Amino acid sequence: MKTPKRLLPLVADGLIDEVLYPLMSGKEADVFVVRCGRHERCAKIYKDASKRSFKKAAQYTEGRKVRNSRRARAMEKGSRYGRQEQEDVWQNAEVDALYRLAAAGVRVPEPFGCVDGVLIMELITDGEGDVAPRLNDVTMSAEQAREDHHLIMVDIMRMLCAGLIHGDLSEFNVLLDETGPVIIDLPQAVFAAANNNAQAMLERDVANITNYYAMFAPELLNSHYAQEIWAAFEAGDLHPDMELTGEFELDEHEANVDSVMLEIKAALAEQEELQERLRAAEEDDD
């Protein structure tokens, strides 16, 4: 096939020997299967910001640190240089996350580097050596659903132990190789301790995965992994070997609305009384 323009420099430099075929086109990147020596790998070409359709990207980049102060200032100002630097941060975020998560024991593709907005990484295959299917393309028994669901919950927990939350996890970015689920697509991964949306994103990731597996094992809808994981994280008790149960005692106490309203009224009355005293003091001065 004709080599995509963005891959030509990598072919010229010998990083890629041959482009074999397109694998997929997504909202933030196009992916090709390439040959690197004796190995088949993936080449993920990130789309420019103007062509990406990833929604609310600011929520995901919140808390990402830029070591170079000049770069940070340029990104804040939104200059041309700053926009390019923002692109570099976005594109390098995935390879950084892959290295970090692999070291934490999370099942993700092995990265081999990111050059000029192209990420070279492991091609995930099934037991027969074919490209691994996405989770949304398979059906399974209830027993298999429970087993794989738990594996992903453990990976989500280990991601948080490494300080990260996927932020866009669903059945569309999980692959199934011969031994189980593999999590992909991480350019939007967020730093949990520095992002105000972290808890909501974790809960959404867990809900997306749980809702899918619940089609095969409905009882999974009664689990509370997100709350269990986040509570341990907030308490400083989360660790990679923590035994997850999916059980968590939710706070179901209803808020005492009458009491809250009385407090608000009392505060307003106190404020009004203060304003009246100030007005009286001003009249006395006159």
**CA torsion angle 130 16 100 137 (round to 10):** -30
Q: 226 falls in which pLDDT band (50, 70, 90)?
A: very high
- The encoded tokens of residue 205 equal 């990731």
In terms of Cα–Cα distance, which of 96, 99, 92 is closest to 118? 92
Residue 177, SS3 per DSSP: strand
Which domains, from first to last, does the chain contain?
Answer: 5-235 (1.10.510.10)
- The encoded tokens of residue 63 equal 């808390």
Please determine, for residue 254, whether its predicted confidence score (pLDDT) is greater than 60. Answer: no
Instruction: Enumerate the active-site residues.
Output: 168, 185
CA distances from 163 to 141, 156, 250 (A): 33, 11, 24
Average pLDDT taken over every residue of the chain: 85
Please determine, for residue 262, whether its predicted confidence score (pLDDT) is greater than 50. Answer: yes
Residue 85 is predicted with a pLDDT of: 66
> Phi and psi dihedrals of 198, rounded to 5?
-55, -50
Over residues 110-121, the pLDDT tens digits come to 999 888 889 999
Distance (Å, whole) CA 31 – CA 235: 40
Q: What predicted TM-score, i.e. pTM, was given to this entire model? A: 0.77
pLDDT exceeding 90 applies to what percent of the chain? Answer: 63
CA distances from 244 to 165, 218, 229, 238 (A): 17, 19, 8, 10
Which is more confident, 8 or 79?
8
In terms of Cα–Cα distance, which of 173, 181, 251 is closest to 205? 173
- The encoded tokens of residue 22 equal 């397109």
Residue 67 is predicted with a pLDDT of: 53
Distance (Å, whole) CA 145 – CA 147: 5
Residue 74 is predicted with a pLDDT of: 46
Q: Which helix (H) or strand (E) element contains residue 258?
A: helix 257-285
Q: What is the average pLDDT across 202-225? A: 97
Q: 145 falls in which pLDDT band (50, 70, 90)?
A: very high
- The encoded tokens of residue 276 equal 């009246």
Q: What is the average pLDDT across 35-62? A: 73
Residue 73 is predicted with a pLDDT of: 52
CA distances from 178 to 150, 175, 182, 217 (A): 17, 10, 10, 21
